[in-house]
Every structure is written in structure tokens, then in C-alpha cells.
Amino acid sequence: MAYTVNFKTVSTTGLESSPVAQSLAGLRANEARYIWNKFKVPYVTYPIAEKPDSLAWLQTILAERALTFAAKPLEICDLALPDMRWVEAYYQDGLVVNVMYSLTDPKKRAVGFKLSEGMAVPDELAGKFKFARQKSKLAGTIRGSFFVIKGSY
């Protein structure tokens, strides 16, 4: 069932099975606030079972860097924004993977990784990416990294 994320009140709805559910929910609310402020679009997440094609598309792009994650994906957001597709998956261990894919400008295509406060860097990313820190009122300390997408999907 779809869940419209409220960025004013952090809720763990859909993320309860995560050991870092509260900080993962804060990270999701932080993303919802960003999308609302930038595009004025509500941020809606779905259980993975409702959007398997979106997860498959995200995994195809991750295969560009031979990345697969052992953690279970819990929720996914797939937004059709003006001139952009935005897909974001929330994993049980606290990892968030997002794809920002411009439909017209190949230079504006990237995959981002965000780590919830309290989680360790996943083995799949350790040593391959450097993570910058950012403070957030909703999510605490967010660690993030990214790579530019080279192919067309």
C-alpha cells in the first residue's frame, strides 16, 4: 500500500523491520522535504512488491558498477518529475540508494548512496566510495556518496 511521507512528523511506517528504523524514517522524511521544496510533488513510497519493475531498473543501473546489496529492500519511491526520473530504494540495514536520471541531459544522471545514522558502511561499498557527512534535523548525521551513470537506461 502506498505511503505518502510526511516530512513534518517522522513515521517508521513500512520500515519497522529495520534495526535503524527511526533514523531511516528520518532520512526518508528528509528526502520528502527535499522533493517537496524543489518540485512541489508529494513523496510517495511503495512496498517493493508493488513496484518490482522500479527495483529491477535500479539494479540494472547498479550493475554498471557490479553492485548488488545483501540487505533486503523494504520500500521504493518512483517519481516522474519534470524532465527527470527519480527512483529511491530503502533497505533494511539503513541504506538508501537513489537514481537521479535526467531524461534529456546525460550529464545529469547519478546514483547516490545515503547511510542512516547508526549503520555501518555496507561491505559492498566499503573501500570503493568516500562518504561525506551532512547534518539534518530529521535524519541526524547522514553519510553520502555517489557515482555518475555512464550508460543509457
Report the pLDDT value the prediction gives residue 31, as an integer from 0 to 100: 96
Spell out the domain ranges in the chain: 3-148
At residue 56's C-alpha, the angle toward residues 62 and 151, to 5°, is 45
Q: Whole-angstrom Cα distance, residue 95 to residue 116? A: 6
Q: Whole-angstrom Cα distance, residue 31 to residue 29? A: 5
Q: How crowded is residue 141: how many other Cβ atoms within 10 Å of its Cβ?
A: 13
Q: Convert the pLDDT of each residue in 40-87 to its tens digit.
A: 999 999 999 999 999 999 999 999 999 999 999 999 999 999 899 999
Q: Convert the pLDDT of each residue in 11-27 to its tens digit.
A: 999 999 999 999 999 99
Write out the E strands in 1-139.
Answer: 3-4, 44-47, 73-81, 84-91, 95-102, 109-115, 132-136
Q: Convert the pLDDT of each residue in 111-148 to its tens digit.
A: 999 999 989 999 999 999 999 999 988 888 999 999 99
Report the pLDDT value the prediction gives residue 140, as an integer from 0 to 100: 86
For residues 58 and 44, the answer to whether their CB atoms sit within 8 Å is no
Report the pLDDT value the prediction gives residue 7, as an integer from 0 to 100: 92
With 90 as the cut, is the pLDDT of residue 1 above it? no
Report the pLDDT value the prediction gives residue 110, as an integer from 0 to 100: 97
